[in-house]
Amino acid sequence: MRVFKFGGASVKDAESVKNVFDVLQKVGYEEVLLVVSAMGKTTNALEVVIKDYFEKSANLNASIQEVKKYHNQILLDLFDDEKHEVFWAVNEHFADLEYFVRSNKSPNYNFVYDQIVSYGEIISTTILCHFMKYSGIEAQWLDVRNYIKTDNTYRDAEVNWEITQKNIAKIAKKKSLFITQGFVGSDENGFTTTLGREGSDYTAAIFAYCLNAESVTIWKDVPGVMNADPRYFENATLLNQISYREAIELAFYGASVIHPKTLQPLQKKEIPLFVKSFVNPLLPGTSVSKGQDLEPKLPCFILKKNQLLLSLSSIDFSFIMEENISEIFSLLHQFKIRVSLIQNSAISFSVCIEDKFGNFNDLKKVLSKKFKVSYNENVSLYTIRHFDAKASEMVEKNKTVLLKQLSRETMQIVAKE
């Protein structure tokens, strides 16, 4: 079994969906499992629905209709007959979404988020599966919520590997083309959970691990893994081969091509990962596999925007000791704030953080009781793996550097543009 992951950009409109069919014709589709994201910017559009829902906005129905209109246009562009069963199937999913919005009583934002936003993946895979059949490829739609089981940490759920393994084993010997949703799972009560934003790569890795897959391929709109994001850095270069270790390092520091959780299950079973272009599917792309000799020989640049640089100092000029740092990290964990960089001195402690869940102001109130708190908003974190003087100079140019840290292989700079 091979596992393919197609992201939102690869199914953003009718032409893109047709291109997925063309890719499968070129690279084969027997014993393949497709993990597919929501179409285009659907996740963002559903986040607007969630916002309108909690604000009790008069725009709520209009927000839902925008999502329906977008998908309906794709359907009309793909299927000649408006009586095709796919129209009914998609309308049923939207009816379920509208029923949830009318009937939900939970005030838990993260719970509501997962129930609503997951419809993006459910609808995209429904459309894709019907189009495959319509175009002559037999396909079987899987509801991933029946396979990937998690705890109830909504928006960032932990996988129950034992149950998930048993569920996925049921399809191991079947030779169909399977199509399922990325990013989504369900808890023990059957409520939908999500695995964290951009978690579709992780879904592919979960299935690959449980199926002992031959390989995983992530199909992107870029030729493979680059040494830098071409949107922000000039002269980005393709990395033909990299090791699991290096890929995990790059993902940890924020490289957007591969999700941070994706690589660990693949590495455990030495399942190779390929990152390829859905525009030119026969090109080799980047392979990620075992081997120290696969480390890149040139600097790799990673940029994380919209970070916070938080600096804490003791009110009475006492040292920041282990017990203080332990307490700080406990609070960061409690408020679900991701730490990207740490630096401390005798009486101060600085962290570059990412406030994914909007909890920083609440954290700040708690910290202010014990520490003097200062912070810089909207800073950028630059990481250079395998840095050299030229790479460092290029990143620092025309920026105000707030913090800089070096190790043998890695340089990190927090800067204001």
Q: What is the mean pLDDT of residues 150-175?
A: 94
The encoded tokens of residue 273 equal 């990962």
pLDDT at position 291 is: 79
Annotated binding site for ATP: 5-8, 231
* Binding site per annotation, positions for substrate: 43, 121
Q: Which two tokens stand for residue 206?
A: 């979960």
Residue numbering of the annotated binding site:
5-8, 43, 121, 231
User: How does pLDDT run across 115-127, given as a tens digit for each residue?
Assistant: 999 999 999 999 9
Domain boundaries, the chain: 2-213, 300-416
Over residues 294-311, the pLDDT tens digits come to 667 789 999 999 999 999
Tell me the average pLDDT across 185-193.
Answer: 98
The pLDDT, as a whole number, for residue 9 is: 95
Residue 130 has pLDDT above 70, yes or no: yes
Give 364-371's long-range contacts (Cβ < 8 A, gap of 24+): 366/331, 367/312, 367/328, 367/331, 370/315, 370/327, 371/312, 371/313, 371/314, 371/315
Q: Is 300-416 CATH 3.30.2130.10?
A: yes
Which architecture does CATH list for 2-213? Answer: 3-Layer(aba) Sandwich (3.40)
* CA 25 and chain centroid, separation: 27
Strands of 37-169 (E only): list them: 139-141
Banded pLDDT at 290 (limits 50, 70, 90): confident
